[in-house]
A and B are shown apart, each in its own frame.
Chain A
Amino acid sequence: MKYVDEYRDGEVAQGLAKAIAAEVRPDRRYNFMEFCGGHTHAISRYGVPDLLPENVRMIHGPGCPVCVLPIGRIDLAIQLALERGVIVCTYADTVRVPASNGLSLMKAKARGGDIRMVYAVTDALKIARDNPGREVVFFAIGFETTTPPTAVAIKQAQAEGLKNFSVLCCHVLTPSAIMNILESPEVRELGTVPLDGFIGPAHVSTVIGSRPYEFFAEEYRKPVVIAGFEPLDVMQAILMLVRQVNEGRAEVENEFTRAVTPEGNEKAQNLVSDVFELRRSFEWRGLGEVPYSALRIREKYAEFDAERRYQLEYHPVPDNKACECGAILRGVKKPTDCKIFGTVCTPENPMGSCMVSSEGACAAHYTYGRHKDSEEVSP
């Protein structure tokens, strides 16, 4: 496949693997976090860890938009579908996220809720146009990548005078989540969780640019390399991170220059700031309340805000007590350190957020990497 195979070439990968192996210092470990679920998926699906030296470890971060969605938010969407009779439209993986009372959007659908999986917010707009007698809510999730399309949809709905369309906004922000991880006690107290650098988001960075990461590099002395979602991008970024660590540098570097600029997409940024404003605080599944980490719809678009329109009240719901998602997302624990991993918590019956989407740390390990656990215990 043109323009894709080039970024998955096995021979080039071997070359990069040799370069990484030649440059890592045998006397130290390298712990890098890939923030994005897209990277987690690429690393797992292509078997990138097999090409890395033993002392380079990839930690899967919280950048899976489905995984970080708290139970209480899904409860709101279910409430809209089951109690208010609205058509709830959402991106596919979201329907499987476990909510309160043993429900999920998929189970709510089986109980009569009109829940539709869409591939784009424009599909939700079309459903609203085609069903003028029904109320349609787009359950909007995702990081900075999916936010601009939601902004466009709201403006479009306003321009068309579409009265039966609104958005349950759950858009979250990458930089605040990274900061939350870096501020967590385990990472702050040196030595507890050595985090030597970040692979920066690919698609998110096309929107926000590379500049927002400069603060982390400088303030926390952590190198950041922004990388594309192809496995060769990831390998190249790891090599760049190894070099920064070896040379004692902590800079923002951009491996994904074919799409990311320092400023990002200003047009998209302006759209987003026209429609949305910062929430003072937002609950993340696994991380808890994170200040200024999410967006809400501005007053001037209030009629398209499902929270205002249906006077929804948010009730936080705690995760399963045995669930270690929070620690796993911060890199403190591995999926296999969790007692319920693979026993009670599986992709078919996810208890915690990391097991929900294939981009989640636990689901990625369960689906793609479980064979390694048995190799570790066998002699």
Chain B
Amino acid sequence: MSGQVKKGYARPLDIKHGRVDMSHGGGGRAMVQLITDLFARHLSNEYLAQGNDGTCLPLGEGKLVVSTDSHVVSPIFFPGGDIGCLSVHGTVNDVAVMGATPLYLTAGFILEEGFPLADLARIVESMARAANEAGVKLVAGDTKVVEQGKGDGVFITTTGIGFLPDGIHLSGDLARPGDLLLVSGSVGDHGVAIMSKRENLSFDAPILSDTAALNGLTAAMLASGAAIRVMRDPTRGGLAATINEVAHQSGVGIHLEEAAIPVKPEVEAACELLGLDPVNIANEGKLIAVCAAEDADKLLAAMRAHPQGREAAVIGKVVEDANAFVQMKTKFGGRRMVDWLSGEQLPRIC
């Protein structure tokens, strides 16, 4: 026995018409083929090529920053993105807003039996493109297959690794009274884009998800030399949840100006129709920053000079408040609290 399958008898992976079956997660040749012909083909690099149970990475300068995120978004393909690029952006952003430079990603795939390989290929290609653009490498991965009905197409968990240069310390508990709060652009785009495609809700709004890697923007912000205390990306729960987190962690109040918060007219219209508030809606390519008041102009200029921060704005200020309440001056002229959302607004947004 030569052990070599004769040429012409080796069946290539049928990416066009094939579907995920249980053997693709079984640890046998079919799994190896899926990894080689699909994942490695698009995502390969010197680390993935090591082919061992673990990957050896060189240590970078400063502290190690790690973040992990699972992605279960539905629908898998949505206006402006898909679960593939989202799973890269989401984790890259979590590392980037720490002030770190994201370098590596790992990815775990849970595939449902019957999932079209063509869709999987689209997702992997999209991940590869997103990782490339963000300058990160996928260095380890895993694939599991569950029976039909036990999953929903594909779930992706990514872990991001980056290095935080010495001297940079950003944290949710560093906001101080007098500081100003900035946002990098319009809020609510991702959530509304997802909602527009839900089966019981479909409306034809030309709204694209803002899913994007923010590490270029964060690098530009840090390079400005402004005294940044906090950076966060307001994903699930939107601006309201993230700002409440900062207020609680820092033990301060935050006062927002509704008129200063950028919201796209079509997002505002969709929210109006659905009875939602843009400040509660998820973003996947926006960040908020708290910085010393005297540096706000410098930071704002640096943000606006970057393509992802063109619509950046100062939207509020940090005040003393033992209750850590977030309040907002409404466009109407009144004042109200901006609280965490109760219950679930929209499941599986990311």
Q: Which residue of A lies closest to B345 (CB)?
A: A92
Q: Which residues of chain B come closer than 8 Å to A48, judged between CB atoms?
A: 332, 334
Is residue B169 within 8 Å, beta carbon to beta carbon, of the partner chain? Answer: no
A4 / chain B contacts, CB cutoff of 8 Å:
272
Contact at B333–A47, with CB atoms within 8 Å?
yes
User: A119 at the A/B interface (Cβ < 8 Å)?
Assistant: yes
Q: Does A282 contact B (CB under 8 A)?
A: no
Which of B99-107, B124-132, B323-331 makes up part of the contact surface? B323-331
Q: Closest approach, in angstroms, between the C-beta of A239 and any C-beta of chain B?
A: 15
Q: Who on chain B is nearest to A44 by CB?
A: B336
- Residues of chain A within 8 A (CB-CB) of B8 are none
Q: Which of these, A17, A119, A348, contacts B201 with CB under 8 Å?
A: A119
Cβ of B325 and Cβ of A371 under 8 Å apart? yes
Q: Is A270 an interface residue (CB 8 A)?
A: no
Measured CB to CB, the closest approach of chain B to A121, in angstroms, equals 12
The interface residues of chain A, by DSSP majority, are classed as helix
Q: How far is the CB of A272 from chain B (nearest CB, A)?
A: 24
Check B335–A1 contact: CB distance below 8 A: no
In the complex, per-residue mask of A215-246: 1 if CB is within 8 Å of any chain B CB, else 0? 00000000000000001000000000000000
A45 to B323, CA, bound (A): 20
**Cα(A14)–Cα(B334), bound, Å:** 10
> Is B268 interfacial (CB 8 A cutoff)?
yes
Does B337 sit at the interface, judged by CB under 8 A? yes
Contact A47 B323, CB 8 Å, known A4-B272, A347-B342, A367-B337 = no
* Cα A367 to Cα B327 with chains together (Å): 10
Count of interface residues, chain B, beta-carbon cutoff 8 Å:
23
Beta-carbon contact of B337 and A369 below 8 Å: yes
CB of B343 closer than 8 Å to a CB of A: yes
* Size of the chain A interface, CB-CB below 8 angstroms: 33
In the complex, chain A residues whose CB is within 8 Å of the CB of B343? 96, 106, 347-348
Asked if A374 is at the interface of the complex by the 8 Å CB criterion, the answer is yes
Interchain CB contact under 8 A, A47 and B330 = yes
B339 on interface, CB distance cutoff 8 Å: yes
- How far apart sit A120 and B237, CA to CA, in the bound complex (Å)? 25
Cα A116 to Cα B342 with chains together (Å): 19
Are A51 and B334 interface neighbours, CB within 8 A? yes
- What residues of chain B lie closer than 8 Å to A47, measured between beta carbons? 329-330, 332-336
A368 within 8 A of B: yes
- A374 touches which one: B201, B323, B332 (CB < 8 A)? B323
Give Cα A371 to B200, complex, Å.
37
Query: Given A1-B265, A8-B331, A10-B331, do A369 and B336 touch, yes or no (CB 8 Å)?
Result: yes
A364's nearest neighbour on chain B, judged by CB, is B336
Chain A residue contacts of B325, Cβ below 8 A:
370-371, 374
Sorted nearest first, the 4 A-B pairs with minimum C-beta distance are: A47-B334, A347-B342, A50-B334, A46-B332
Residues in chain A within 8 A of chain B (CB atoms): 1, 4, 8, 10, 13-14, 17, 44-51, 96, 106, 117-119, 123, 231, 346-348, 363, 366-371, 374
8 further interface pairs, Cβ-Cβ under 8 Å (given A14-B333, A369-B337): A1-B265, A1-B272, A13-B332, A48-B334, A118-B200, A119-B200, A231-B332, A370-B325
